[in-house]
Amino acid sequence: MKVLLIGSGGREHALAWKIAQSPRLEHLYAAPGNPGIAEHATLVSLDIEDHAAVISFTKDKNIDFVVIGPEAPLVAGLADDLCAAGIATFGPSKAAAQLEGSKGFTKDLCARYDIPTGAYQRFKSAEPAKAYVREQGAPIVIKADGLAAGKGVTVAMSEADALAAIDDCFDGAFGAAGAEVVVEAFLDGEEASFFCLSDGKTALALATAQDHKRVGDGDTGPNTGGMGAYSPAPVMTPAIVERTMKDIIEPTIKGMARDGNPFSGVFFAGLMMTQKGPELIEYNVRFGDPECQVLMMRLKSDLLPILYATATGTLDQVTVEWSDDAALTVVLASKGYPASYDKNTPIAHVPDAREDAKVFHAGTALKDGQLVATGGRVLNVTALGKTVTEAQARAYALAKDVTWDNGFSRSDIGWQAVARENAT
């Protein structure tokens, strides 16, 4: 099979690494890719926003299958255009990608199909939103409706913060994404991410993970795209997984199909384990980044036929095997992230993969033969272990062998799981 992978982050490096191990693979192309992905694929400089150019490349190279990593091309309808051109594509349609692209869309779906989530209201202007906040009181959560690069959510502990967040949204802090606002009840509990595949009819549970969104140790400081993750998430016991499938995932997949937006691809539910049980915080219509890196380390099955079955409607024939080991990834980021940071700082050394550990590239590039950091999140040092404690020790040991003066990481990725393991 000839495959084109769309994307350039650590998630796509992990997907490329795994797809490249498939006996079914004939050739892997990646657009635009990064220097880590280049170990496994031929990089192509395609403009992903130019759908006609992507289609014409797939026809020229006789590509059999396109795998789309990030959300932006999905929300822009790249999967629709590729499918319309007759090319098998992994990733949801633009209509189904609204599960991530519009928080109001997802909340309305939950309301229609009785899916547990926080009580909410949608608003198109500030005054009624503020009146609702005053009526409900704090803590309360304010969300820009659209994609805001992970920054559109304010968990307001005071009414004043909530009112200010409403003004920010309607004053254009998130551009068009903030033209509509969702005000949602605050949910209390531990979070976990639950990854599933769907071909529009069947939902297949993949695995669980927990990420660390805050930039600082002890989960402090501003939110980021994710400073590290581990899998499995111990809060997702088999009983909770079963309940989540029945109460949240299956009604979502059935509801999307019934509403005329069948969902095909991978998605993950951000869940809050409340006293009432798991409740939905949000959906994402792609693999998480860096959660994908830990899932790919644990996946024992051949990834390529699983993705292809998802895209072609035969997921009911698929089973997926996972390692019982835990995996953990530590993100090395540019100093200053998630605020401003220097670009093109040199990375002198990235250690080779070890048997149970590997460094995935996210925001890197080659400039005149020198590996440099071009993004906020730059490398993902990922390891397996019998326990999260062991995976954590291996990942941090490998991270020490990276030579990059402008990099930093959190020092406590996996802390909740490590504390649990050490308490037993």
Shortest distance, position 211 Cβ to ligand GLY, whole Å: 5
With CB under 6 A as the contact rule, the residue among 9, 118, 178, 375 that binds ligand AMP is: 118
Q: Quick one: which segment of 251-259, 282-290, 336-344, 376-384 binds ligand GLY (CB under 6 A)?
A: 282-290
Asked if 186 touches ligand AMP (CB under 6 A), the answer is yes
Q: Residue 399: helix, strand or coil by DSSP?
A: helix
Contacts of residues 177-180 at CB distance under 8 Å and 24 or more positions apart, as own/partner, are: 177/144, 177/145, 177/146, 177/147, 177/148, 177/152, 178/144, 178/145, 178/146, 178/148, 178/152, 179/124, 179/145, 179/146, 180/104, 180/122, 180/123, 180/124, 180/144, 180/145, 180/146
Tokens of 18: 């795994």
Contact (CB, 8 A) for 372 and 347: yes
Q: Which C-beta is closer to ligand GLY: that of 149 or that of 157?
A: 149
Contact (CB, 8 A) for 142 and 169: yes
Q: Which C-beta is closer to ligand GLY: that of 184 or that of 289?
A: 289
24 CB neighbour count, 10 Å cutoff: 14
Contact (CB, 8 A) for 20 and 298: no
Q: Quick one: which segment of 167-175, 183-191, 235-243, 292-300 binds ligand AMP (CB under 6 A)?
A: 183-191
d(CA 29, CA 63): 9
d(CA 18, CA 1): 14
Number of amino acids touching ligand AMP (CB under 6 A): 13
Q: Which C-beta is closer to ligand GLY: that of 268 or that of 404?
A: 268
Binding mask 207-226 toward ligand GLY (x if CB under 6 A, else -) reads: ----x-------------xx
Q: Quick one: which segment of 84-92, 156-164, 234-242, 285-293 binds ligand GLY (CB under 6 A)?
A: 285-293
263-292 residues near ligand AMP, rule: CB under 6 A? 270, 281-282
- CB burial of residue 43 (10 Å; 0-12, 13-18, 19+): middle
Q: Which C-beta is closer to ligand GLY: that of 213 or that of 358?
A: 213
Asked if 284 touches ligand GLY (CB under 6 A), the answer is yes
Q: Which residues bind ligand GLY (CB under 6 A)?
A: 211, 225-226, 284, 288-289, 291
Residues in touch with ligand AMP (CB under 6 A): 118, 141, 150, 153, 155, 184, 186-187, 191, 213, 270, 281-282
